[in-house]
Amino acid sequence: MDNKKVVTRFPPSPTGYLHIGGARTALFNWLFARKHKGKFILRIEDTDQARSSEEATNAILESLRWLGLDWDEGPYFQSRRYHIYREYLEKLLASGKAYYCHCTPQELEERRKQAMAKGLKPKYDGKCRNLGLGPAPHAVVRLKAPQTGKTSFNDLVKGPISFNNEELDDLVLWRSDGNPTYHLAVVVDDITMGLTHIIRGDDHVNNTPRQIMIYQALGEPLPYYAHVPMILGPDRTRLSKRHGATSVLAYRDMGYLPQAVLNALARLGWSYGDQEKFSIDELIEKFSLEHVGKSPGIFNAEKLLDLNAQYIRESDTGYLTRTVIPFLEKRGLKNLDETKVARAVETLKIRSKTLDEMAEGSLFYFQDEISYEEKADRKFLKPNILGLMEEILERLEKTEVFSQKSLEKVFLDFIEEKQIKLGKIAQPLRVALTGKSASPGLFEVMEILGKEKVLERIRKALTHIARKT
RNA sequence: GGUCCCAUCGUCUAGCGGUCUAGGAUACCGGCCUCUCACGCCGGAGACACGGGUUCGAUUCCCGUUGGGACUGCCA
């Protein structure tokens, strides 16, 4: 097995969107496969007909694509592979490793209760185990599991794990409705697809001995197991919808960059010394199961936000421009001039934590009319500034070249003459031009807005202030 | 309840017996820079759950306690 090509998989069940935890499992499998030049398979586990949906499948595929986690094979759908599971089931039946069980769910429920009442384990009591029953309308097929001894495996992240077989019971392999159960389908798929490494959430640790028993009953070699700790919500319970934004697509829609999400996910549970930032290539190069931690972690949304801000700061302006445009359009802006968007992006890169924030912060560049933030209006657009503003308007009217450099000169000369601080005039002007008290640098704003727009907005502010007197 | 897993700053984590008066990141608090907001820089506060061993020496190894999580389905 050691010299065999590595094969990993991501097997979501399409019962909902892809959440952070699932995405991390997918990422680890993907990284491990890429690192070892192996194969990464996508498999949709839709044996639960009632809960599976096509929308969920599509959302999962879209999430993986957005993250850039490409698969080499699949997506396979378990619902289309029943003949294979059936074939393996027959093998087990033929070899006496599995048997038909005629107990009804109600009977089982009853006996489970009784066992609990007596303080015994609520497991299947093995009633039909040696009855030699055949198929029947509501029969299920169970694995004839070993009842003594131990089932052990060496987990690649947790180390040796062992279970007493007395703890386990004869699990159902085939349901009375004619469908395979999860355990059978998983094991048969993993065998037939040639899986070498099973990297999954540690909520599966307890399932592992059952699955190992199926491998053994089938006489198949075991894969390596690596159980990654769960991701918890802030209340330390398993991450779920209750914890707010947990879906990958939600982060996309909030204006996160896929690299930032990937980076954050990788660092949740895995580490490489003190390094915090990794490019995809670096992740592939440096990822290893040995450095995956054993303890569960809480998803740190603040840190992701900061990482996102860093990636935005460092991203190529052209790329940011293309990705921010949908966020501007979402705000009703049409026919955007890409060159102008790029210039706006250039000024907002270092002050935006998300693309959504960037879009919000750049609205004033594109709107015909801006509105003043109430507080900013009250604080800076006061009558006492009228004089200075009129004077600077005059100078700007006379300024031919509206470049940052020349504008800066105009202002420096102006404050020198007037013996005032730049802030004195800069803040009121900022509000006049952007509507806000915080914005990119005044001169870059003016350059991008252009002379015409700048003059227009200053004049508008002047009438606005005049009305207050 | 039973089984299994886990336990370093609020959070993510480094640490694989002495290098630890425990390092980084984030968030928080000061300061500097400055036309605002950011960025950047400097500084601050903040953790080895507890109790036994093993050892010359434990954050690191073993056991127990406590705490947390997962599983306990004809769901995956």
- Give me the mean pLDDT over the A334-353 stretch: 96
Instruction: Look at A148-157, A241-250, A402-411 and tell me which has the smallest mean pLDDT.
Output: A241-250
Residue scoring higher pLDDT (A75 or A117): A75
Residue A102's Cα: distance from chain center in Å? 44
Backbone angles phi, psi at A77, to 5 degrees: -115, 125
Is residue A2 pLDDT above 60, yes or no? no
Q: Which nucleotide is nearest to A44 (CA to C1')?
A: B76
Mean of pLDDT over chain A: 93
Lowest mean pLDDT of A74-83, A148-157, A166-175, A243-252, name the range: A243-252
Which bases of chain B come closer than 7 Å to a protein CB?
A: 1-8, 10-15, 23-27, 34-40, 68-76
* Closest of A343, A373, A349, A371 to residue A449, by C-alpha: A343
A131, pLDDT greater than 80: yes
State which residue has its Cα closest to the C1' atom of B75. Answer: A48
- Say how far apart CA A41 and CA A193 lie, in whole Å: 9
Between CA A196 and CA A205 the distance in angstroms is 17
CA of A412 to C1' of B27 (A): 39
CA of A282 to C1' of B23 (A): 22
Identify, with chain letter, the residue nearest to nucleotide B2 (CA–C1'): A121
Distance of alpha carbon A145 from the chain centroid: 38
Q: Check whether A344 has a pLDDT greater than 50.
A: yes
Q: Above 70 in pLDDT, residue A123? A: yes
Asked if residue A393 has pLDDT above 50, the reply is yes
For B23, which residue's CA is nearest its C1'?
A: A274
Residue A307 (CA) to nucleotide B43 (C1'), in angstroms, measures 23
The nucleotide minimizing the C1' distance to residue A422's CA is B35
Q: Which residue is nearest to nucleotide B24 (CA to C1')?
A: A274
Which of A241-245, A272-276, A300-304 is least confident? A241-245
ipTM: 0.94
Q: How far apart are CA A8 and CA A194, in angstroms?
A: 9
- What pLDDT does A234 receive? 80
Mean pLDDT in residue range A117-143: 89
- pLDDT score, position A1: 46
A440 CA to B17 C1' in angstroms comes to 54
pLDDT in tens, A293-309: 999 999 989 999 999 99
Q: A52 or A348, which is more confident? A: A348
Quick one: pLDDT at residue A139? 93
Task: Give the residue-averaged pLDDT of A49-64.
Answer: 92
For residues A155-159, give the mean pLDDT.
95
Model confidence pLDDT, tens digit, residues A73-92: 989 999 999 999 999 999 99
Determine the distance between A374 (CA) and B23 (C1') in angstroms. Answer: 46
* Tokens matching residue A207: 């399932």
Please, what's the b/e burial string for A177-208 (b: 16 or more CB within 10 A of its CB; e: otherwise)? eebbbbbbbbbbbbbebebbbbbbbbeebeeb
Question: Which of the residues of A are catalytic?
Answer: 241
A297 close to A21: Cβ distance less than 8 angstroms: no
Measured CA to C1', what is the nucleotide nearest A164? B3
A275 closest-nt by C1' vs CA? B24
Q: What is the Cα gyration radius of chain A? A: 32
